[in-house]
Amino acid sequence: MKEILERLLRGESLTETQMIEAMNMIMEGKVSDIHIASFLTALRVKGETPSEITGGAKVMREKAISLDLNDIFTVDTCGTGGDGSNTYNISTASAFVLAAGGVSVVKHGNRSVSSQSGSADVLEELGINISITPKRVEECVRKINLGFLFAPTFHNAMKYVVPVRKELGFRTIFNMLGPLTNPAKANAQLLGVFNENITELMAESMKQLGVEHVLVVHGMDKLDEITISDRTKITELKDGVINSYYVEPEDFGIKRSVKKELEG
C-alpha cells in the first residue's frame, strides 16, 4: 500500500490492476485506518479515473453477496449522493413510483455518509425492515416489484471502510462505487451524480463493467437528480455507445419549480 500511496501523492493514476490490488487489501482488512484515509483522500485530490473506478467496482462486485434475479429485467435508481443540496431522498421516492408502474426495481443504498438523508434512513423512518436476508429481497422484487439492497448486508467487506468514510465526512471514490456495485447487477440504471464533469466518467466505467443501459444525470442546479428547476445533463450509455445531451423540464410538460421546495 505504501508504494500505491506514493504513486497517488505524485499525482499519478493507478492502473486497473493496481486498483484491484489496493481494493483487495482494503476489503480483506489488511490496511490500517490511517492508510485507508490517506488512500481515499489522495484519490479524491488527484481525481478518479475510469480504470480506478472500474477496478474498485470489480473487487466490490466479486466480494458481494449476489441475488438470483437474472430471469427478470431490473432497474436501479441508486445515485452518488454528496451534492450538498439537502433535498429529500428523491431516488428512493422514484423507486416507489417505478415499482407502482410495473418496473422491477432493485434499489441499492445505505445510510447517509456525506448527505443529509440516505435511502436506508428514509426507509427506516417509514418503519421498513431494511436488514432482511437476500432471499427475502428477491421475494420482494418478484411480488411487489421493489426490493431494497442494504449495502452492509450485501457488502460485508465494507465494514473495514465504513468508520473511515464516516470520520472523513466528505465524498470519496465509494460515492461513485456504490451505484456501480449493485449485487443484483441491474440491467439498467438511472444514476444521479454530484458533478456534471463526471457523467462521462461514470458512463465509461459502467460500459467497462458490461451494464446494458444507463442514464447518468446531473441537474445544473447542482442536484444529483433530473431536476425540475433547471436543465439536466444526461450521459446515456446504450448498446455500447455513449452520448451526452441536455433536457429541460418543459420538454416533458413540467412547470419549473424552485429548488428550495425539494429540501427535506
Task: Report all structural domains of the chain as residue ranges with CATH numbers, in order of start.
Answer: 2-63 (1.20.970.10), 74-152+172-262 (3.40.1030.10)
Three-state secondary-structure class, residue 117: coil
Widest CA span in the chain: 55
Q: Which of 75, 91, 76 is nearest to 264 (CA)?
A: 91
Q: Which of 252, 234, 201, 262 is nearest to 56 (CA)?
A: 201
CA distances to 148, 155, 169 from 152, in Å = 12, 5, 18
pTM for this predicted structure? 0.87
Contacts of 12 (CB under 8 A, 6+ apart): 46
The neighbouring-strand residues paired with 146 are 105
Sign of CA dihedral 171, 213, 226, 47: positive
Q: pLDDT truncated to tens, each residue of the chain (264 aa)?
A: 999 999 999 999 999 999 999 999 999 999 999 999 999 999 999 999 999 999 999 999 999 999 999 999 999 998 887 656 667 788 899 999 999 999 999 999 887 665 566 788 889 999 999 999 999 999 999 999 999 999 889 999 999 999 999 899 888 999 899 889 999 999 999 999 999 999 999 999 999 998 889 999 999 999 999 999 999 999 999 999 999 999 999 999 999 988 777 765
Angle between helices 2-9 and 16-27 (to 10 degrees): 130
**CA separation for the pair 190, 214 (Å, rounded):** 6
Q: Which of 209, 219, 226 is nearest to 77 (CA)?
A: 226
The DSSP output letter for 98 is H
**CA separation for the pair 253, 190 (Å, rounded):** 20
Strand (E) or helix (H) holding 219: strand 213-219
The grid cell for 24 is 483487495
